[in-house]
Amino acid sequence: MNELSVQEAALAWAQGKKVEAMGPHQDAWGLITPIGGGKSLWTSEVFTRTDKVFTFRLATEPPSKRYRPWTPEEVPLNAWFKGENGIGFKLAYADLWKVDVSPTVANGSGSHLSLNYILKVWKHSTDNGKTWLPCGVEVEA
């Protein structure tokens, strides 16, 4: 993790990023209280302290969500699908075409889309468009 100067750390903190500090003679990093509050080891006064020298870094972020393509059996039927352009379709059935090569589903207009492709480009809704989720199964990152 790269260390930041006090100016870089203060700017990152002011921009809403999570910043950690370590005081002299300590061996552990502690979060600086974010704007708006929260639990932390340090307050924003660490940026102006002159009696101690602090070391700063950006806090490590938890791993982001990762998805794997659905298996053909997991494709939700009667769900709405939409691509990047917002144009979508309702999937009435899953056509398990070329399952041994790259599983695909039919989109109702005669086109077949690979499960890998729809994970990257499409979103789906099982509640008639109220919520849109990735086309896959969440797995640990």
Pair (25, 76) in one structural domain: no
Helix residue ranges, H only, the chain: 6-14, 115-121
Structure confidence at residue 96 (pLDDT): 53
Q: Which two tokens stand for residue 33?
A: 């209280």
Element at 57 (helix H, strand E): strand 55-58
Residue ending a domain, choose from 12, 27, 58 = 58
- pLDDT value at residue 114: 75
Host H or E run for residue 21:
strand 19-22
Q: Are residues 34 and 80 in the same domain?
A: no
Whether 131 and 85 map to the same domain: the answer is: yes
Do 36 and 98 share a structural domain? no
**Nearest residue to 89 via CA among 77, 73, 74, 102:** 77
Report d(CA 114, CA 116) in Å as an integer. 5
pLDDT confidence of residue 2? 86
Residues in the chain with pLDDT values less than 50:
99
Q: Give the model's pLDDT for residue 24.
A: 80
Exposed/middle/buried for 9, CB within 10 Å: 0-12, 13-18, 19+? buried
Same domain, 70 and 11: no
pLDDT at 104: 63
Name the residue range of residue 48's domain. 3-58
For 113, the token pair is 């889309």
Instruction: Clarify whether residues 73 and 127 are in a common domain.
Output: yes
Verify that 73 and 114 share a domain, yes or no: yes
- What does the pLDDT read at residue 141? 66
pTM for the full predicted model = 0.48
- Per the structure, how many domains does the chain have? 2
pLDDT of residue 106: 59
Q: Do 128 and 78 sit in the same domain of this protein?
A: yes
